[in-house]
């Protein structure tokens, strides 16, 4: 019975995802964030302006 717990623990560690592995890195997202801006799905907040795109054109890059 103890072997099942050990087997479960090993399988859990094998199939555990690495941090950030689900998020693909887009060049436009990295450029937006390197300039101190942020990405947003909808329109930018009132005091911010859209300065580009993020996630391959799906999001807006908002800058002050």
The angle at the Cα of 36, spanning 31 to 37, to the nearest 5 degrees, equals 75
Q: Which has the closest alpha carbon to 29: 19, 20, 39?
A: 39
In the predicted model, is pLDDT for residue 2 greater than 90? no
pLDDT at 49: 94
Q: What are the tens digits of pLDDT across the range 6-53?
A: 888 887 777 775 555 555 678 888 899 999 999 999 899 999 999 999
Residue 5 CA to residue 12 CA, distance in Å, equals: 10
Amino acid 22: pLDDT? 54
Task: Find, among 8, 51, 53, the residue nearest to 64 by Cα.
Answer: 51
pTM: 0.58
What are the sequence ranges of the domains in the chain?
A: 24-59
What does the pLDDT read at residue 10?
82
Task: Starting at the earlier edge strand, list the strands of the sheet with 38-40.
Answer: 38-40, 59-63, 49-54
């Amino acid at each position: 019975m103890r072997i099942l717990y050990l087997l479960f623990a090993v399988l859990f560690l094998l199939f555990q995802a690495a941090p950030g592995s689900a998020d693909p890195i887009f060049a436009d997202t990295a450029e937006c964030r390197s300039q101190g801006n942020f990405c947003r799905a909808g329109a930018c907040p009132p005091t911010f302006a859209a300065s580009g795109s993020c996630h391959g054109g799906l999001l807006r890059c908002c800058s002050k």
